[in-house]
Structures are given as structure tokens and as C-alpha cells.
Structure 1
Amino acid sequence: MALIAQPFRHPDSGIYYLRRVVPEELRPIVGKVEIRRSLRTRDYRQAKSAFAAAYADSERLFQQARQRDRQGTAAGDQTEAVEDSPTQLPIPINTPLTKHAPAAANTLKLSQVFQRYADSLVLANKPEYVHRRHLIDYGRAVERFVEAMGDLRITTIDPIEVQTFATRLSQSKAKGQDKPLATSTVRLTIARLSSILSYAVDSGIIPTNPISSSRLHKRLGSAKPKRRLDDDRGYTWSELVRMFSQPDFAALRHLQGRPGNALFWLPLIAAYTGARREEIAQLYVSDVRQQDNGQWFIRIIDDRPDKSVKTDSSRRDVPLHDDLIALGFLELVKGKQADARVFPQLVKVADGFAGIVSKGWRPLTQRWGIYRQGRNPLHAFRHTFKTLAREVGIPKEVSDWITGHAAENEGDRYGVNPLSRMVEEMQKLPSIAREAGLLT
């Protein structure tokens, strides 16, 4: 797994840091598992410059440690410190010089390889909460393997062991349920385990990835079923109008408690922007912004520990349609502190902020005769937006900017996506709110 070293931005303070894992054989000498030094700036360009100097200091530290290890310097000797600077990284004085004997590759167990994999993630420049979630998810894959097969030495895990594990996993019961694990869960567990084994290959611990060699992914089938032409996962125009014209939908605007008025606003915002449910539910007041020309927009970004985005392209600015403003969306943020949340009644749990909204929206669509098996009632608005955009002639690249779909080539990643162009194209969308009678 190739990771490019770069400054790490603290998710709370915004200050950039150097974070670097100390090689395992040098940890007894350096006295740390990880080097972490503040670059003393919130500006990325300044951080890049300071990072280069800090990285060179850390490399010099490792060289000194290796030299000290080779020479077998007495424990009481002091090692010359690097230059005095904000990124000074001296070797601790009086560090015990017991040589670290790295475990031979043929003795490392899967759990030990996973620990090394976890240590390597600090170089990925991701927020702390992202690392934590990643380790929980991937650690669970390792736990499932250990429960089924034992904590095997990494060199003894071969394609036969992998096939046996997959069979046992598919026959195991889902937590708290009397039914086998879903095929999607089995596939995801295998994929995460494969990432850890690929790290072992990259690190020279094993020559090949036994999961890749087993071709197990072929037997498990594609993660996404083949699309059928009659399988429309979005809503039709008549279904949109029927939903939003229901009297009990209009009453949701004043609903109290959880999910409260989020049950009114999330479907509407999703219909007009194609945004994902969690992108909307996690919004802060500071994410609702206005350009100098008066245009309002929402900023979708993972700049706080309780916010996340699916991909890099998901970080974006999305114009607020005039209908949403006319319906009173800005009243949700009027007079509130910037660090308040737009929907404070939503609490983040295992299925995110918006899980409770999904649970409330499904029975409503069933009551209105719109629910269809296999169609996600909230995510369907994302499909609907893309279909409407095609029907009214919004260019694909603009539609992708609005919905946060990934660029198809390197050239598309250059420059910025002008908000004015998005606003211009969004005017082509028909007025759902007026057609449904929400606006007169």
C-alpha cells in the first residue's frame, strides 16, 4: 500500500502536523511509535514548506538511530541532537540500547500484521475519527477470521484457508438474528481482509495475496447486480408530485422531537440537489453560506469530527434552489450560532444522523402507495435528480458537480466548478414545490 507522506490537518484546530511512524526496529532507540510535530500553521502552502524540513529532520533522526544501533553505543551516551528548530526531533537521552529483534515473517500472526497495518495508516493524512472508524471496520474483519480459523501465522494462510473461512462466514448467523450473514457482508469482510493481506505483500512479509490467488471474488459475484432496463431506482415525476402534495407531508414542517422537521426538509433538499441523506443531515449553520452576489448555497465538507463525505469529489458547494428559499429553508439557520447544527434533533448513531429519517420516511411512502421493494425511499431522490437533469438538458459535468460524482478524467479535476453555472443550469428544473401545491 503506497502512501505519500504529506501534512496532517488536525480536524478540530485546523493546524497541520508532521506524523510519521517510527520503524519498528528503531522504536527501542527513539522511544516512540510515532513522531508527531506541529507545523504551526493552518495554511496548507506554508505547511507543505515546513513539512519538508520536518520530514528531513525525522529522516536524520532515523539515520542517527540506525547508526547508534550499529555502533552499539553505551546506554549512557548522549546522541547529538538535530538542529534547534520548531521541528527538532532529538533522540531521547539514556535510551536503553537493547536491540530490537524484529519478528521473522514466518512467525507473524494475522493479528500482528493487522497492528502493523494500523500503524501505517497515520501517513494517510486522514482525520482521527476516520482512522478510528477504519480500524474498527477492518479490525472486525480480522476478528471474524480469528473466530472462524484461529490467529494463524500469516505465511500459513493460503487459498484453501481463505475458501474455508468464506464458507464458514457465509454460514454464520448475523448478530442478534436467526439468519446467515448477507452475501454483501461476506463480500465486504473478504475485501477488507484482502486489503490487510495486500499490505503484507507490499511490506515483503508474504509473496502473494492468498485472497487474490483464490479468485474468491469471482465466486461471490459482483457487488452490484447487473442493471435491468426496467429497474428504475428513482421516482417518476407523478410520484414526486403525489408525495409532496400529501396533506400529512405539509404537516411535517412543524413536527417536533426526533426526527422532527427533518422529515419535511431532507426529502425536499434531496429532490432539489441530489445530495446524499447524510450530507444533508450533518449540515452546520456555518455550511449555509451566501456569495457576494446574494446567491445562497450549502457547503458539503468533512471539516468536523462528526461529519464525513463518501469520496473526495463529495466535498463541494451546492446552490440552494429558489424554491427551497421560498419554502423557508433559511429560517432554519436564522439567528443561530455558526457552530450550531441545522437539524440539532438528529443524533449520530450507527446508521448516521439520517437513519431515523429513513425509518420515518419509508412508512409514509407505503401509506401513500409509492413504496416499491428494492428502491431506497430516501436515496431514490438522488437517482431522480440525475434523471430530471438529463430530461431538461443539464450537461452531465454540471450535474456531476452538483451531486458530487467523481470526475472521469484528470483534466476535469483542474480548476473550480463555478457556482454561477450550476445556478444557471438548475433553473431548468421544473418546480416540484409549485406543482405539488407547496408554493402558490
Structure 2
Amino acid sequence: MALMSYLIRDRNGTYYFRRIIPQALRPFMPGDWKGKGAWTKSLRTKDPAAAKKAAVRCLADCVEDFETAERAARGEPPPLRPPHRFAAAMPQPEEIEAEELARLLAEDEAERLDGDARRQLQTAEERAQWPDLLEVPAPDSGMADDHHHAYGLEAEELSLEFREAQSKGNIQIVDGAVRDYLRRKQAPIVPNSEDYRRAALAVLRAHVRAYDLILGRQRGDAVPTPPPPSANRGPKLSDAFEAWKAGSGARGSKKPAAKTLLEAGRAVRLLTEWHGDIRLGDLTREKGREFSLNLARLPTHLPDTLRRLPMRELLRRDLKAYPTVHASTVNKSLNILSAIVSHADATGKLDAVPNFRNPFGKGVKQVVDERAEESREPFTKADLTAIFSTGVFRAGARPLGGGGEAAFWLPLMALLSGGRQGELAQLRVADLAQDPESGVWFLDIGVTGGRRVKTASSLRRVPVHPELERIGLLRYRQALVDGGATPGDSLWPDLKLGRTAQPAGAWSKWFTRLLREGAGIEDRRKVFHSFRHTFKRLARDARISEEMHDALTGHTGGGVGREYGSGFGLKVLAQELARIEAPDAVRGLRWHVREISRHLP
């Protein structure tokens, strides 16, 4: 087999991968293989089965280097190897050196405890065939004298080799170890890069230090094996994220909402692309600040070809044509990451990390210029006239992106109820109901039927404004029922709901186009949510108390415990809501049955 022909063993039984480099390729080999006669790497095992598995990975690396050399010989650029989307960032040199030192000393300790390798390579029956062979010591007696002597000579030789390589800055001697380390870390392996060279120099320093200590052990010095640097450094970022998503498990405990999970997933992905799947104990304030500064460099409105790139790769591109993300958006991601870390800390996962503090505190967040902050603005009288003069409201137009009758009703209902876009988009036929006691028609903003709301205070019943009844909202509902709609059916049969976190995301884009292109409202602070601000302003103009219109809109305020309308009955809410005067822009509107006849079964 070809693979087996690349396996060799040294005098101590350690396996190596060795493949001759063709003469014609030697001048073109990448990195420190250039000019060498063979591609050689220690497999660091004496077990044949383990050596075969390790050789498979070596062969892939070797073939990659050979391919690079062949292309260079033909005058072609290196082969394009797209980075893995979730590849980890290159660890810091000090982290690499500490981990490799601990690994080398642990292997040396195991060698001394395991003793003579001949116990693993030869059975007692095989040795009995050669009575003149030296006696092999028992398994629990450590190294035999001749094994100890040969091991010491090899350690001295390797120590000299690694020291000489370090003095020359020659990293080829540790190339195999570097590739193994980076593969374990899921970090990119780019032999000609500066990051790769820094990693290799750290591994080389670890080897020099390790063999100094190993020679001390040979002389009888008590040299302890340090624990892996990851020990007592807390959970990995990925594990902490999963624990945060699961919550405490206690009955009634809060779990992240769907939209928050999406935002958290993106924040964790970006942090992993920048610092790797790092242990939280190694996530210092310096690393948090570095991530924050680079997160602020990320652009928005990217084409798909750029959006798919990992964060580090993306920031190497020329991005001057794209606006950068807003500081408040950066802080939102940092707040979510801070919550994930705080959850791990609260559950005791970071107790063993000395002097730990959350790396995403105030000193790491971006400073937001409140004067420049683009807050949502209510619509003016002129804005409302422009919106409700478009073809959707005056000519019965129903654009495909508008979701049929949702294009007509969602803006009107948001204006005269203060409802959020997601709340209104998820309404079912049953959620536009009549209270049997008071006779008041109302919107049931809740979670039944798989719906979601923003907060607990969002659960409420909102009376239907008299102007909505006049325009024809109840007639519209009846037309759906007459057409065969059931109570569990959507109130907007042609509205395509997307992911749970943003059920009307596509519809929102359509409405924004209506604002900008149809109504000519170019102020980016004015969006669908501006209807909610407009409703609050109308409520204040009608002298409705803050507590009352907080109950109508599902806001928390006033320090009063509230459940479904802050304790106000529907009749009282309806009376107060009727005091809000409908803007002139909607008073001439009227819905006609013919407009949905084509949508009914």
C-alpha cells in the first residue's frame, strides 16, 4: 500500500511519515520545505494502528504542499482553498507555547512510566525465541537501564537540534507539530502566512524549553508536568452558549426569545471566527476590546459573495464602498455576549478562574453619540396623507409583497391601536373577537396558536377603534368567515410569515419601499414602527393617562403590577380609546368586499 511506504520508525520505535520530494519540485516547495529532499514529520506514536491514522492526515498535508509546488513550477498561483466559515482564529503565541510545553512534558512523563517500548513491540513468546536478548523489565518497574540511556542520548540530540533551529529561526523542524496543533484547534493552516510563522516559533520555543526540562528529569530533577492551560479556565464559548440557550431549567425561568437567539448565534459565530472557540477564562478584557473594535469595522448592506466570508477574511477586503455597522448595534451584540458569560459565571462555571471579570463590560462597549442616534420618529400629518393616498388605500392595489389585505389593514391597525408589526401580522381570525360581557370588539395580542410577543407586558386585549369599524375591519373579518376561514386561520391569508423571530420580515421590506418610493418619505427614522409612536402622540393629545395608553400598547411603566391591560376592563379601555381622534388622512377610507373576493376559497 502506498501509505505504508511512507511510514518509517526510528531506533526507539517512534513512527515517522516520510515522502521523497521530486527533484523538479524541490525549488518550488512552500515554506521551509523549499530545497529539502524529503517531506518528513514525526507521528509521535509507537502504535502501528495509531501511526496509520496519523499518516492519513500527513498525506493530505503533503499532497497539498506538492500541489502548491506543481502549480508554482508551472507559473500558476497557489490553489484557492476557501476558508471554513466557522474556522477558529489563530491562538496567541503564548497560549500555543504553554499548551505545547504541557503536552511534551506529559508525553515524557508517560514514556518514563510506561517504560521499555519493547514491551509493546514484542510479546513474551517472540522474545523467548532469542534467549540472548536482554531481559525486559516488568511493566511497573519504569525504564530499563539501556532504555534510559538511549532515551537520554536522543533527548540530548533533539535538544541540540531544536536549539540550533531556534537560533536560525528555522521552523521546518516543527512543521508537523504546528499542523497538528492548528488542526486540533480548527485554526487555518496557511504555511506562508505570518500567523503560521508566529505559531511555529511558539511551538519551537516550547520544544526548546521542554527538552531542557526533560534533560533535567534525566539527571533526576523533580520536574512536575504542568496541567493543560485549559484546565480550570472555564467552559468553551460554544458550551457556554448552549447552556445559556437552555436556561436554568427551573419552572417559570425565562429563556431567550427567538429573535434574541438569532442575534446571539450571530454574535457567537463572529466571536468564534475572531478568537476561536475560546475558553471563557482566557477571554480577557483586552481580547474583548479587540473584538469590539473590529466588530465596529464590519460593514452593512454587503453582497452575498462578501457576506459569506469569515470575519477576519472579510476585514482584509476593501470595504470603503459599504457603511459600517452602527455603534448601538455593536453594543447589542456585546450585551448578548456579556449575558452568556454572566450566565456561566452565575452557574459556577468560572469559580476556578482567579480574578475573573466579564470581558464585555462598560470599558469594551462603543460610545454612542446620543445626538446622532437615529431614533424612530412619529409620522407627521403630511406623512400620513402621503401614505394613505397611495394606490393601496385609494385604488385597491394589492402588490405581491404586500400580502393581500395585510397591505391595507396593518398600517391602519398600527396607527389606531399602537400594535407592533409582529403582533398584528400574527393575528388569527379568532384574535379579532367580541367580548361577551361588554360587547366590545377587541384584538387579542397573545401567544396562543404558536404566536410570540416581545415581553410579558405585551400580552393584552386592545379594543377596536371606532374608525377601524367604520372603515370595515369587522366586515372584512366576516368576509373571511363567509369564505370558509376557521378561527385558527390567519387574519391575513396572503401574508407569508417567515421565521418566528421576525414573522413579517419580508412584508416589512415591502412597506419600507412603499414609504420611500410610493409615499416619498425619505427620512430613515420613519418606518412602520413610527405608527406606534404616532399612536402614543395621539393618545397624549387626547389627554389619555400614561398608564392607560401603556396598557393599550403593552408598555411597562408606572410601577404598577399589570396583567392584560393593567387591570382595566375592556369597556373602560374602549371608552378611552374612542377619545383618540382618527387623523384626517384615514377618514375617507372604506374597505370593500370585492377587494378580497379573489383570495377566498
Shorter-normalised TM range: 0.5 to 0.7
Tell me the equivalent position of 1:114: 241
Q: Quick one: distance in 1 between partners of 2:299 and 2:452?
A: 30
Deviation digits for residues 390-413 of structure 1, max 9, x if unmatched?
A: 112111111111111113314556
Map residues 155-166 of structure 1 onto 2, 5 A cutoff: 155-166=281-292
TM-score (norm 2): 0.50
d(CA) in 2 for partners of 1:208, 1:424: 56
Find out whether 1:216 has 2:364 as its counterpart.
yes
Offset, 1:146: 1.5
The CA deviation at 1:271 is: 0.9
Question: Hey, what does 1:54 align to over in structure 2?
Answer: none
2:225 maps to what in 1? none
Please state how far the C-alpha of 1:295 moved relative to its aligned partner: 1.3
Please say if 1:418 is aligned against 2:562.
Answer: no
**Contact 2:508 2:528 (8 Å CA) reproduced:** yes
Corresponding residue pairs, total: 332
Deviations for 1:224-283, whole angstroms, at most 9, x for unmatched residues? 93589x988111234324432455522247666752221111111111111111111110
> Residue 141 of structure 1: SS of its match in structure 2?
helix
Alignment partner, residue 588 of structure 2: 437
Whole-angstrom CA distance in 2 between matches of 1:132 and 1:369? 32
Amino acid at match of 2:475: E
Name the stretch that deviates more: 119-128 or 379-388.
Answer: 119-128
For residue 105 of structure 1, what is the aligned residue in structure 2? 232
Local SS of the residue matching 1:297: strand
CA deviation vs aligned residue, 1:34-59 (integer Å, no higher than 9, x gap): xxxxxxxxxxxxxxxxxxxxxxxxxx
Asked if 1:348 is matched to 2:348, the reply is no
Selected match of 2:551 from 382, 398, 401: 401
Partner secondary structure for residue 325 of structure 1: helix
> Could you tell me whether the CA contact under 8 Å between 2:393 and 2:589 is conserved in 1?
no
Shift of 1:353: 3.4
Q: 2:430 aligns with which of 255, 270, 286?
A: 286
Check conservation: 1:254, 1:260, Cα contact below 8 A.
Answer: yes
Instruction: For 2:290, give the aligned amino acid.
Output: T
Q: Distance in 1 between matches of 2:425 and 2:512?
A: 17
Letter in 2 for 1:355: G
Given that 1:244 and 1:433 are in contact with CA atoms closer than 8 Å, whether structure 2 keeps it comes out as: no
Aligned to 1:333, the other structure's residue is in SS state: helix
Q: For 1:225, what is the secondary structure of its paired residue? A: coil
Unaligned 5+ runs, structure 1: 1-102
1:135/1:338 Cα in 2 relative to 1: closer, same or farther (>3 Å)?
same
Seen in structure 2, the aligned counterparts of structure 1 residues 259 and 121 have a Cα distance that, compared at 3 Å, is farther
CA change 1:253–1:272 in 2 (3 A) is farther
The within-5 A match list for 1:140-151 is 140-151=266-277
Counterpart-to-counterpart distance in 2, 1:185 and 1:227: 14
The corresponding residue for 1:296 is 441
Q: Deviations over 1:109-147 (max 9, x none)?
A: 22223333334354364799x666554432332222121
Q: Is the 8 A contact 1:197 1:209 kept in 2?
A: no
Map of 1:428 onto structure 2 = 579
Pick from 523, 531, 536 the counterpart of residue 381 of structure 1.
Answer: 531
Code of the aligned partner of 1:215: G
What residue number does 1:55 align with? none
Structure 2 matches for 1:60-75, cutoff 5 A?
none
Residues in 2 aligned to 1:438 and 1:342: alpha-carbon distance in whole angstroms:
20
Question: Match for residue 39 of structure 2?
Answer: none
Q: Percent identity?
A: 28
Change (3 A) 1:118 1:243: closer
Whether the aligned pair in 2 keeps the contact of 1:245 and 1:438 (CA below 8 Å) is no
Local SS of the residue matching 1:344: coil
3-state SS in 1 of match to 2:359: helix
Give the drift of 1:339: 0.7
Q: Secondary structure at the match of 1:215?
A: helix
**More divergent stretch after superposition (254-263 vs 185-194):** 254-263
Long gaps (5+) in structure 2: 1-229, 308-318, 592-601
In structure 1, how many angstroms separate the alpha carbons of the residues matched to 2:519 and 2:477?
Answer: 33
Cα distance between partner residues in 1 of 2:295 and 2:505: 27
User: Could you report, residue by residue, the CA deviation over 1:396-435 in whole angstroms, capped at 9, with x for unpaired residues?
Assistant: 1111111111133145569622211111112222233686
For 1:385, give the aligned amino acid. Answer: F
> Shift of residue 205 of structure 1?
2.7
- Partner of 2:467, secondary structure, is helix
Q: Distance in 2 between matches of 1:244 and 1:135?
A: 36
Q: Which amino acid aligns with 1:169?
A: L
CA distance in 2, matches of 1:132, 1:203: 23
Q: 1:379 to 1:133 in 2, by over 3 A?
A: closer
Q: Which amino acid aligns with 2:498?
A: V
Q: Which amino acid aligns with 1:185?
A: T
Is the CA contact (8 Å cut-off) linking 1:285 and 1:339 kept in structure 2? Answer: yes
Provide the residue aligned with 2:475 in structure 1.
Answer: 331
CA contact (8 A) 2:234 2:349 kept: no
Q: Verify the 8 A CA contact 2:376 2:529 in the aligned structure 1.
A: no
Q: 2:379 aligns with which of 195, 210, 235?
A: 235
Partner of 2:289: helix, strand, or coil? helix
CA 1:104 to 1:423, structure 2 compared with 1: closer, same or farther past 3 Å? same
Q: 1:436 to 1:348 in 2, by over 3 A?
A: same
The 3-state SS of whatever aligns with 1:409 is coil
Distance of 2:415 and 2:536 partners within structure 1: 10
Structure 1 segments (4+ residues) deviating >6 Å: none
Query: Secondary structure of the equivalent of 2:407?
Result: helix
Matched, 1:203 2:347: yes
Cα offset, 1:194, TM superposition: 0.4
**Distance between the aligned counterparts of 2:430 and 2:415, measured in 1?**
22
Deviations 1:205-236 (A, max 9, x none): 3354333556212xx124x93589x9881112
**Residues in 1 aligned to 2:449 and 2:333: alpha-carbon distance in whole angstroms:** 28
SS in 2 for 1:211: coil
